[in-house]
Amino acid sequence: SAAEKDGFDYFMLKEIVEQPRAIADTLLGRLSVEGDLTLDEMRLSPAELRSVEKIVIIACGTSYHAGLIAKYAIEHWCRIPCEVEVASEFRYRDPILDRQTLVIAISQSGESMDTLMAVRYAREQRAKVLAICNVNGSTIPRESDGVLYTHAGPEVGVAATKTFITQLIACYLIGLYLAQVRGLKFGDEIDAVIAQLATMPEQVEKVLNTIEPVRELARSLSGADTVLFLGRHVGYPVAMEGALKLKELAYMHAEAFAAGELKHGPIALIEEGLPVVVVVPSPQGRSVLHDKIVSNIQEVRARGARTIVIAEEGDESVRPYSDVIIEIPAVPTLLQPIVATVPMQVFACELALAKGNDVDQPRNLAKSVTVE
Ligand code: AGP
């Protein structure tokens, strides 16, 4: 009913707007103002977490994209090798697992059959399984050794929005906590990340307050056949998520590439007027990466692409090569997916609405896929 939708026409629109609250609720009680992390609720003891030698993340769809982003953060902060795999592939390839392996199963619903089967398989192989889940008491957390719940609240729209953003929060918390229990030196970078994590509700609010131009842009592109998405580092899985949202909601061909791979083939796809969405890392810190992607933007634009650039506010270097700039707040690179994903969600949702699609119930899709 309209009341349940809080005056929004679709649950998805409401759920996008709820993201700052969902992030705050997921951080609550776990990250103190002093920057201390408390995750005892996970049911995995610090001793168990100290013995972990390898991490394997398994998930499907959007949850898999959260896992891809988690890999960058966990390997960088904890120096533990971390693999990420789609759950449907996992148990069919004889993966290497043992007691020192921590499997992190990410599932919004806790009911995806592919992920559940992968969890069962991992436990049979004696790996420890930690679930990240949004639904209390669902099957995957019940069958795992430990769980960290996201507190996004119920998500009705089939397309994951606030559950994805809170999965990212959960992944960052786990990465930082692992570093903490393993006694890794909390240098300035980690302190800065913790401080910034606490500000994420406000940062996402900022993005939502300046989103109107993204809506207009989406409407202007409703006749396009294809949209390409480019990113590097954590911006690559963000690009993958942007492409998935467009497929699911707008039924459009959309594909994401690691920007550095362009020259190895995909650049042949670029033609006059083709919309290309590019996620640009912060110019601060990892500036090499930033400069590389600016040249990737130049390359596609020189071949006729219409460049839609998601960049940090005040990043002047992208201006000469961008047809449209979508500004996002300055945050540390590893946290950028939280703010960079939001315009992608709005873009796909608005484009789908412009095509007359039902964004809450896209064709052929179910909210949770309980068959293998
Ligand atoms: C997300 O927009 C999709 N509806 C889908 O990819 C989803 O993320 C996937 O099916 C995994 O679901 P889960 O997180 O409930 O396991």
Which tens digit of pLDDT belongs to each residue from 246-270? 999 999 999 999 999 999 999 999 9
pLDDT classification of 183: cutoffs 50, 70, 90? confident
Whole-number Å distance, alpha carbon 201 to ligand 1 midpoint, is 23
Known catalytic residues are 367
Whole-number Å distance, alpha carbon 271 to ligand 1 midpoint, is 32
Mean model confidence pLDDT for the chain: 95
Mutational test site, ligand 1, from 85, 112, 251, max ligand atoms within 8 Å of CB: 112
Strand partners, 37: 31
Q: Is the CB of 107 under 6 A from ligand 1?
A: yes
The confidence score (pLDDT) of residue 169 equals: 98
Given the CA of residue 369, which atom of ligand 1 is nearest to it?
10
Q: Is the CB of 368 under 6 A from ligand 1?
A: yes
The confidence score (pLDDT) of residue 335 equals: 97
Tally the residues of the chain: 372
Given the CA of residue 167, which atom of ligand 1 is nearest to it?
14
Least confident of 26-40, 46-60, 120-134, 216-230: 26-40
Stretch 158-180: mean pLDDT: 96
Whether 137 shows a pLDDT value over 80: the answer reads: yes
Residues 6+ apart with CB under 8 A from 247: 253, 254
Stretch 202-225: mean pLDDT: 96
- Closest Cα to atom 8 of ligand 1: 62
Which tens digit of pLDDT belongs to each residue from 17-34? 999 999 999 999 998 877
Whether 3 shows a pLDDT value over 80: the answer reads: no
Whether 186 shows a pLDDT value over 70: the answer reads: no
Whole-number Å distance, alpha carbon 60 to ligand 1 midpoint, is 6
Mutational test site, ligand 1, from 165, 368, 372, max ligand atoms within 8 Å of CB: 368
Whether 123 shows a pLDDT value over 80: the answer reads: yes
Given the CA of residue 115, which atom of ligand 1 is nearest to it?
16
Q: State the ipTM, two decimals.
A: 0.98
Check if the beta carbon of residue 323 is closer than 8 Å to that of residue 307: yes
117-121 — which CB contacts under 8 Å span 24+ positions? 117/87, 117/91, 117/372, 118/58, 118/87, 118/90, 118/91, 119/58, 119/143, 119/144, 121/90, 121/91
Given the CA of residue 368, which atom of ligand 1 is nearest to it?
15
